Each structure stands twice: as C-alpha cells, then as structure tokens.
Chain A
Amino acid sequence: MRLTPQSWMFAQEDTKEICTSLLYSLADSAGGLAVIAGAMELMPIATLDLRMDYLRPANGDRALLAVATCRHLTDQVAFIDCDIFCEADSELLATAKATFMRNTHGQQFHSDGLKKNSV
C-alpha cells in the first residue's frame, strides 16, 4: 500500500515530518487488507490490537510504502506483520504487529472481542 504525503499529514507546523499516527493508520489499513488477502474471502474484520515501533522519522517529501504479511490465520484470529518503508531509498521507518478478529458481524464483535481480551 502506498501513501503520498500531503501537508495536512504533518506532525508539526514548522517541520515537514509526517505524523506517526498516519503511519499507524497506514499499518492498520494495510494489515486489514492482508487479512482479506490471506483468507482469500471478503469478510468483515476488526482490529484487536496493534503495536507500532517508530524507528525513524518519516520525511514529508517522500512516498511511504507499507508491506503487510499475514503470518498466521485461524478461524477467528489473523496475525499480521507490517513494515513501512520510505519508497525512495527503501529505508525501514516503522514496524507493526497486529491481530485482527475475523468474521465480525456487528454485535458478534462484542462477545468475541471481550473473550479474546480476557484470555
């Protein structure tokens, strides 16, 4: 998944650094797509948890590239790794680890989500 920076994405008025929260959103979106790609079916999913490590600041004049991999898939849960690179020099900017709940249909998410969190 690719993202071209724009000025509203910046972390601070006076710098050209992209806000980490944008990388976070990118990892969440790419991770979600990886679940669907890994399962080879279009089903509703929900993020259970996501952990980001920001290794380097993301420069606002270069496009970002997110590569998400589905590590393991069970009937209920998907485990995802995602790396975010700077497209120009393929420098690693951030890494993410996420788990997604699969097949969430509205209300069902509540019980499933709670069960998972109490384990």
Chain B
Amino acid sequence: MSKTDDLAQQRSRAAESREKCADWKALLERIPYAQHLGLQVQCGDAVVLVYLPCNETLIGNFMLPALHGGVVGALIELTARVAAQSKDRDKRCPRIIDSHVNYLRSAKAQSTFASAEIVRQGRRSSLVSVTCWQNDKSKPIASGQVQLLLPTIAAEQEELHDS
C-alpha cells in the first residue's frame, strides 16, 4: 500500500472517530440521569470512551472509600445504550431489557472510563459488552453485558399515529 493510501485511510478513520464522538455526545446529552452523574464522552485514537469524573456524591462506601456499585452499573448501562443507539441506522432509542455486571476490583474514588463493544446488533435487539477501568486499562474494575431492545418501526409508527 502506498503512503498516500495509508494516510488517507488514517484520516478517514480519524474522521469516523470524530463523527462517532459527536454522535455519542449528542445522545448522552439527552439523558437527564447521565447529566446528573456528569458523564462525558472522550475521543481516543480509534475508540470512543465514556468518562465519569469522580465526585464525592457518588461514593457508596466511605470507609474504603469506593464508588457506589450502582454508579458503576449506571455507567455500564448508559454506555451500552449510547453505543447501541449510535450504531443503529435510524438512531432508534433502545430500551434496556437486562444487564449483568460483574465487579472485578474495588472501584476507588477516582475517574472512571468505560468502553463498549457491540457483540451483536440485530434488527430488534442488541447485545453490548462494556468494560470499566480507572488508571490502568489492563486492570478493569467491572465488566457488564447489556441486552437492549430496539423499538420496531411498526410500533413507532403506531405511536406517531396515537399522538
């Protein structure tokens, strides 16, 4: 491959990442609970991350101190939701059916990051796997799998009809 091809590919990948970043940001801004937690989108080289800044109000155990398990769960669920919605062609708003989170290490009162991997995205449902880490990406603090249901076009049309 020539150098120019390589460069062009790199550029298009960067543009794709930027586009995805803006996409995620817009979706996250529309979730009041994500705003309450202070979730932000961070753009990496090829990946888009969700960033949770540490905040005293999010601590669940003051003795350790550690982040509340529910906050980590929320980070995982919301990351999965934004990932699935941004991947969907029609940007349909998915409904979370179930989520399963495993806590691997104690979540310290520090900044936390989450990245999503879409295991499968179908027409009706989506399975997203999310990993959370703090200062070391190779030492995840929690991982989770979230099943989401995408509303069918027919149901959406019905809703429009009703309103």
Q: Which residues of B contact A53 (CB under 8 A)?
A: 97-98
Contact at B97–A28, with CB atoms within 8 Å?
no
Contact with B along A41-74 (1 / 0, CB 8 A): 0001011111111100100000000000000000
Q: Which residues of B contact A29 (CB under 8 A)?
A: 60, 68, 70
Does A44 lie within 8 Å of B99, measured CB to CB?
no
| A contact residues around B119 at 8 Å (CB) | none
Q: Once the chains bind, are A54 and B32 in contact (CB under 8 Å)?
A: no
B74 and A8 within 8 A (CB): no
Q: Which residues of B contact A44 (CB under 8 A)?
A: 61, 63-64
Q: Counting CB contacts under 8 A, is B102 at the interface?
A: yes
CB contact between B99 and one of A7, A9, A19, A52 (< 8 Å): that residue: A52
B124 within 8 A of A: no
Most buried by B among A8, A21, A44, A49: A21
Query: How many A residues are at the interface, by size bracket?
Result: 35 or more
Interface window among B1-9, B103-111, B126-134: B103-111
Cross-chain contact A25 with B98 (CB below 8 angstroms)? no
**Contacting residues, chain A, for B93 (C-beta < 8 A):** 12
Q: Which residues of chain B have C-beta atoms less than 8 A from A20's C-beta? A: 77, 96, 99
Given contacts A24-B70, A50-B69, A54-B98, contact A10 B32 (CB under 8 A): yes
Query: Do the beta carbons of A46 and B32 come within 8 Å of each other?
Result: no
Instruction: Find out whether the CB atom of B32 lies under 8 angstroms from the CB atom of A13.
Output: yes
Output the nearest chain B residue to A49 by Cβ-Cβ distance.
Answer: B102
Residues of chain A contacted by B36 (CB below 8 angstroms)? 8-9
Q: With A8-B35, A54-B98 in contact, do A25 and B73 touch (Cβ < 8 Å)?
A: yes
* Chain A to chain B contacts (Cβ below 8 Å), 24 pairs: A8-B33, A11-B31, A12-B32, A19-B31, A21-B33, A21-B70, A21-B74, A21-B78, A25-B69, A26-B70, A27-B70, A29-B70, A44-B61, A46-B106, A47-B69, A49-B101, A50-B101, A51-B99, A53-B98, A54-B95, A54-B98, A104-B106, A106-B64, A114-B104
Query: Given A49-B102, A109-B64, 19 other A-B contacts at CB below 8 A?
Result: A7-B32, A8-B32, A8-B35, A10-B32, A12-B31, A19-B74, A21-B73, A22-B74, A24-B77, A28-B70, A29-B68, A50-B100, A50-B103, A54-B98, A57-B95, A109-B105, A109-B106, A110-B106, A113-B103
